[in-house]
């Protein structure tokens, strides 16, 4: 039987050997100032529950969800609220943030870290705990997890898919979690399965992680409702649509949610975070972050408190052995280029990837040669060469007619383009423009 996969995709240099054998190291913040942006998730910003001068504790909710699609923000340190003001985050924008002076005593709220028997909790209890813990999708999208776990009809969910693909080059934090905390992963999946009586658990792992596959297969060998699916190593295998198709054969498009095809997909770390919150009374106050690339001295993985400054992580990895020409928050396919390291670790922080050379700078854009490679690799079966023509003309209507909103911005087309055209950036801009146009049209319609 062949390995599960999808149609399209690319095979970029993996780069995982730089950090994959380095166990997760706990890194306590060395600085005093901790920054907690109120927008660390898709949806409405969280609303502050504290004021300047307030004392806070580890595990305390300092900002509550600002709407149905939103998430709580929880303090990872104890100390005093010094400011509430805009601070820069990894995408370059300024986001209103709570700044806490870390007293480094790490005094916690009552009950923090206490074990509890999740088998005695009701479904509502579990969903409430996940919401209070501020858990979001930790694979990059940062969608509030309590919303994902509350579909219209829980009886129509057939599959809970754990995304252990980690297809983004260079990143190894999920791999290290599967190697070091596989029991928590399996127990977290069992917690989710308690919410969906008809669902089966599927843990999808790319076949470039054989040790993790073997370890988790042994753990679930007697679990009738859980199986491990070996995935063919290919990017973007971990994309939600690609993963659902690979594991179930079901197809998803932009007009559907995974729940509409009977699936719920959660990242490895998200599932472990659910276990931490439900079984160990520990909200989401940490991230496992990969520090990697050819410019950093010692590539590795850190367990770090949210709010910690990026610069501290680079210093803990030995600093730069060579001054990098490019630094990314995230991996090389979907990461954000940084112009400063003075930004905080947030729920969506997965890695800092550093490069001695800037390949984009070294390979300037040239005219399209109409080779069609971008069409061959597109996992959404689109025609990027024509979509880019519409993007260059700001033709949102034409972009929509070409099904441009089905683009998942994976970057596969840009990766194979011999002309080095900035296809992904163009599609990202156009998708935002179309979404803004649709919102304006909807508001105008409601106004009538």
Dist. CA 187–CA 185, nearest whole Å = 6
Which tens digits make up the pLDDT trace of 315-358?
999 999 999 999 999 999 999 999 999 999 999 999 999 999 99
Give the whole-angstrom CA distance, residue 412 versus residue 204: 21
- Greatest alpha-carbon pair distance for the chain in Å reads 64
Q: What is the dihedral of CA 344, 350, 356, 362, to 10 degrees?
A: -110
Residue 352's contacts (CB-CB under 8 Å, 6 or more residues apart) are 289, 290, 291, 292, 293, 296, 310, 313, 314, 327, 328, 329, 338, 341
24 touches 176 (CB < 8 A): yes
Please report, in range form, the residues annotated as the binding site for [4Fe-4S] cluster.
368, 371, 374, 378, 407, 410, 413, 417
Which stretches of the chain score pLDDT less than 50?
none
pLDDT at 361: 86
pLDDT value for 444 = 85
Residues placed in the known binding site: 368, 371, 374, 378, 407, 410, 413, 417
The CA distance from 185 to 193, in Å, is 12
Residue 360, pLDDT score: 84
Q: Return the beta strands (E) in 359-439 as ranges.
A: none
CB 281 within 8 A of CB 290: no
DSSP 105-128: ---B-TTTT----GGGS-HHHHHH
For residues 273 and 174, what is the distance between their CA atoms, to the nearest angstrom? 12
- CA-nearest of 320, 339, 312, 284 to 32 is 312
Mention every residue, 6+ apart, whose C-beta is less than 8 A from residue 265. Answer: 161, 162, 163, 240, 243, 244, 258
Given its phi and psi angles, is residue 397 left (phi above 0), alpha (psi -120 to 50 degrees) or beta? Answer: alpha
pTM for the whole structure: 0.96
At 359 the pLDDT is: 87
pLDDT of residue 148: 96
State the Cα–Cα distance between residues 96 and 108, nearest whole angstrom: 25
238 neighbors 196 (Cβ within 8 angstroms): no
pLDDT in tens, 6-54: 999 999 999 999 999 999 999 999 989 999 999 999 999 999 999 999 9
pLDDT confidence of residue 410? 96
């Amino acid at each position: 039987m062949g390995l599960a996969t999808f149609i399209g995709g690319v095979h970029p240099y993996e780069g995982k050997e730089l950090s994959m054998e380095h166990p997760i190291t706990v890194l306590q913040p060395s600085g005093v100032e901790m920054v907690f942006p109120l927008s660390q998730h898709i949806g409405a910003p969280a609303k502050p529950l504290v004021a300047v001068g307030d004392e806070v504790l580890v595990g305390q909710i300092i900002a509550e969800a600002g709407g149905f699609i939103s998430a709580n923000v929880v303090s990872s340190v104890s100390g005093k609220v010094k400011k509430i003001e805009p601070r820069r985050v990894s995408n370059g924008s300024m986001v209103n943030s709570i700044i806490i002076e870390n007293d480094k005593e790490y005094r916690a709220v009552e009950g923090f870290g206490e074990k509890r028997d999740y088998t005695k909790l009701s479904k509502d209890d579990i969903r409430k705990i996940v919401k209070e813990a501020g858990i979001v999708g930790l694979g990059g999208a940062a969608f509030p997890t309590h919303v994902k776990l509350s579909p219209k009809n829980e009886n129509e969910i057939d599959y809970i898919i754990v995304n252990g693909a980690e297809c983004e080059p260079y990143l190894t934090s999920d791999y290290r979690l599967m190697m070091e905390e596989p029991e928590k992963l399996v127990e977290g999946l069992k917690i989710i399965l308690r919410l969906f009586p008809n669902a089966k658990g599927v843990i999808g792992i790319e076949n470039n992680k054989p040790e993790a596959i073997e370890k988790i297969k042994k753990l679930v060998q007697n679990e009738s409702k859980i199986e491990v699916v070996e995935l063919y190593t290919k990017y973007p295998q971990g994309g939600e649509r690609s993963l659902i198709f690979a594991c179930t054969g079901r197809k998803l498009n932009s007009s559907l949610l995974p729940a509409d095809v009977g699936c719920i997909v959660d990242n490895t770390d998200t599932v472990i975070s659910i276990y931490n919150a439900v079984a160990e009374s520990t909200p989401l106050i940490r991230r496992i972050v990969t520090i990697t690339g050819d410019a950093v001295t010692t590539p590795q993985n850190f367990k770090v408190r949210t709010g910690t400054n990026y610069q501290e992580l680079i210093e803990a990895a030995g600093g730069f052995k060579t001054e990098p020409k490019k630094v990314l928050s995230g991996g090389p396919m979907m990461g954000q280029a940084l112009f400063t390291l003075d930004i905080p670790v947030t729920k969506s922080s997965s890695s800092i990837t550093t490069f001695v050379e800037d390949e984009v700078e070294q390979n300037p854009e040239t005219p399209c040669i109409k080779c069609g490679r971008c069409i061959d690799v597109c996992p959404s079966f689109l025609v990027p060469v024509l979509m880019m023509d519409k993007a260059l003309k700001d033709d949102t209507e034409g972009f929509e007619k070409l099904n441009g909103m089905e683009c998942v911005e994976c970057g596969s087309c840009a990766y194979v383009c011999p002309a080095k055209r900035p296809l992904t950036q163009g599609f990202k801009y156009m998708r935002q423009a179309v979404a803004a146009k649709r919102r304006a049209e909807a508001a105008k319609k409601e106004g009538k």
